[in-house]
Structure formats: structure tokens, C-alpha cells
């Protein structure tokens, strides 16, 4: 029965800072499935928050929890400004650090801010076999926009996590009257 139903990772990160995002990446393994250069059409530009006609390197990857055999916990599509992408392309398959850290090392860009949007989606049919779930399974989609010290968008990641093995937690704290 195990061969027909491989073990899948259930992963429930709590991420409220860039440091926790780094730790999340450190606790999972990235596998690169494809890299190509693209030009953002109007629909992709709207989705990423970039200018139509801008050039990007697109990285298709999966993330797996350590020591878990079977399907990955999520599928990632990462978009990197084409120039930065060319600087890091050769390191992507062998270096597990955050892509933003590779970019920093290559050209000095400093990650200043990450804007994240999370929404519920139906898992796209083309990803279903890669993640070991049925098409249209409920999933969480995370879109993260990475901005540098000059407030320029230089990386966007779109990750899709099957709902049956993913949860996302946040902690909201009330500020004291002095902090308001």
C-alpha cells in the first residue's frame, strides 16, 4: 500500500519576519526543475507587480521537508530580474541558500522588504501529479515580492501548497497606546 500512497510532508510554518522566512528555507530542500528567461506579458506583469515587457529569469522548483520521502510539500515558481538571474544561474542547483542571498552575494542588493499575499486556490491541473494530489484540490498560494534597499522589485516567488498538508499561522499583537 505504501508504494501506491507515498508519504507526503505536512508543513506548518509560522513566518512573521524575514529572519523566519530564512529559517523556513533552511529547514527545507529546494530542487530545481527548470530555468528559462521570459518577458512578462500584461497578465504576468499584473500578477507579479512588475512592468509589462520586463525581462525575468523564471525558476521552477519544488521544496521538500528534510528526511521525508515522497511528494514535495510545495511547488515554487521564482522570478528574478534577468540580469540578477544570470549572475546566480550556475549556483541555483547546488546552493540551498535563499535566492535573495545569492543575489546579494553576486551584486550587493540588500533585501529590505517582502510583501506577501496568501490566497486559497484550486490546485492547477499541471501541478497535481508533481505534488501527488488531484487537480482542483484546495491549495494555498503565496505570492512574495522582494524589494531591495532602493525599493526596487527584483524577485517574486509564487508557491503553491496543497491544502491537505499545509497551514499558515500568524501572530497578531496589540500595540500599547504609546506605540500607536
CA 89 to chain centre: 17
Least confident of 25-39, 48-62, 72-86, 132-146: 25-39
- 61 to 22, 31, 99, 107, 113: CA distances (angstroms): 17, 5, 12, 23, 23
> Per-residue pLDDT averaged across 80-109, rounded?
94
Of 77, 88, 81, residue with least CA distance to 55: 81
Which of residues 165 and 83 earns the better pLDDT score? 83
Which of 7-16, 77-86, 125-134, 164-173 has the least mean pLDDT?
Answer: 7-16
Q: Average of pLDDT values for 3-10?
A: 44
Q: Binning pLDDT at 50, 70 and 90, where does residue 33 land?
A: very high
Q: How far, CA to CA in Å, does 157 sit from each of 38, 80, 143, 147? A: 15, 9, 6, 12
pLDDT bucket at 173, cuts 50 / 70 / 90: confident
21 band by pLDDT with thresholds 50, 70 and 90: low
CA dist., res. 111 & res. 105, Å (int): 11
Which residues, other chains included, contact 21 with Cβ-Cβ below 8 Å and sequence gap of 6+? 15, 98, 114, 144
The C-alpha atoms of residue 59 and residue 43 are separated, in whole angstroms, by 18
pLDDT band of 18, cuts 50, 70, 90: low
The domains located in the chain, with CATH, are 18-165 (3.40.1410.10)
Give the pLDDT confidence of 99-143 residue by residue, as tens digits.
999 999 999 999 999 999 999 999 999 999 999 999 999 999 999
Tally the residues of the chain. Answer: 180
Report the pLDDT value the prediction gives residue 6, as an integer from 0 to 100: 45
Q: Tell me the whole-structure pTM to 2 decimals.
A: 0.82
Residues 48-77 have a mean pLDDT of 90
Identify the band that residue 17 occupies on the pLDDT scale cut at 50, 70 and 90. Answer: low
Amino acid at each position: 500500500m505504501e508504494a501506491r500512497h507515498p508519504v507526503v510532508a505536512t508543513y506548518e510554518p509560522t513566518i512573521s519576519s524575514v529572519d523566519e522566512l530564512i529559517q523556513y528555507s533552511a529547514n527545507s530542500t529546494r530542487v530545481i526543475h527548470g530555468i528559462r528567461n521570459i518577458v512578462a506579458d500584461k497578465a504576468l506583469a499584473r500578477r507579479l507587480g512588475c512592468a509589462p515587457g520586463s525581462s525575468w529569469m523564471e525558476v521552477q522548483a519544488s521544496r521538500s521537508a528534510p528526511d521525508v520521502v515522497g511528494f514535495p510539500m510545495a511547488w515554487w515558481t521564482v522570478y528574478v530580474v534577468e540580469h540578477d538571474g544570470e549572475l546566480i544561474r550556475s549556483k541555483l542547483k547546488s546552493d540551498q541558500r535563499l535566492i535573495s542571498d545569492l543575489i546579494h552575494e553576486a551584486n550587493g542588493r540588500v533585501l529590505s522588504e517582502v510583501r506577501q499575499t496568501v490566497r486559497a486556490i484550486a490546485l492547477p491541473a499541471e501541478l497535481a501529479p508533481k505534488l501527488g494530489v488531484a487537480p482542483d484540490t484546495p491549495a494555498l498560494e503565496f505570492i512574495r515580492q522582494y524589494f531591495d534597499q532602493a525599493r526596487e522589485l527584483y524577485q517574486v516567488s509564487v508557491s503553491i501548497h496543497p491544502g491537505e498538508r499545509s497551514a499558515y499561522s500568524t501572530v497578531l499583537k496589540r500595540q500599547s497606546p504609546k506605540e500607536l
